[in-house]
Amino acid sequence: MTSSKLPQLEHALHNIKSLRTVLQWIPSHCGVQVNEKADRMAKLGAEEEQENNPVSLTEMKTIIKSLHRTPQPQDSYHLLSRPQQVVIFRLRTGHNRLNQHLHKKLHVVPSPMCPCGEAEQDTTHILRDCRNHQVLREEIWPLPEPLHNKLYGPVAALQRTTNYISRSGLQV
């Protein structure tokens, strides 16, 4: 507006008596039939009364970013259901309801020991060594499975881990 390249538009805008003016620019599509039709339709639409849907700058930035965000490849963890993700996350981090964490961090159980009495009840013990769950462990993993695979492996391995936890009756 300050360059005076469009004096007719500037004059028309000065004559408007509203508090707020919205400009809607639609470029032309010279000579391309489909684009020309789109241009005519856009001009017809611009002549109609426009909706008043104010959007904050922050919201507009979020919308624009989401439209231009490239989809990230999904890793095994993110292919799990939300409840399965919770189980795996708690097992990975040690922030769970097993006795070791409840005793050492939260001081809500008298001992960190597993009910089997062989070791502290933590992720490693539950997934690899606890005799109370030996039969179930052999059913879920008939062949030896590395602990790392049970917690960070492909989606099928993570699903077996969550199935094991669910069937064991353990609350993590």
Structure-block tokens of residue 117: 């009495």
Render pLDDT for 32-52 as a digit per residue (tens, 0 to 9): 677 778 778 888 888 888 778
Domains in the chain: boundaries = 1-45, 77-168
| Chain position carrying tokens 């936890």 | 165
4 band by pLDDT with thresholds 50, 70 and 90 = low
Q: Indicate whether this model's pTM tops 0.85.
A: no
Res 162 pLDDT > 60: yes
Which of 36, 151, 31 is CA-nearest to residue 89?
151
Alpha-carbon dihedral 117, 119, 123, 129, rounded to 10 degrees:
-80
Q: For 64-115, what is each residue's pLDDT tens digit? A: 888 888 777 779 999 999 999 999 999 999 999 999 999 999 999 999 999 9
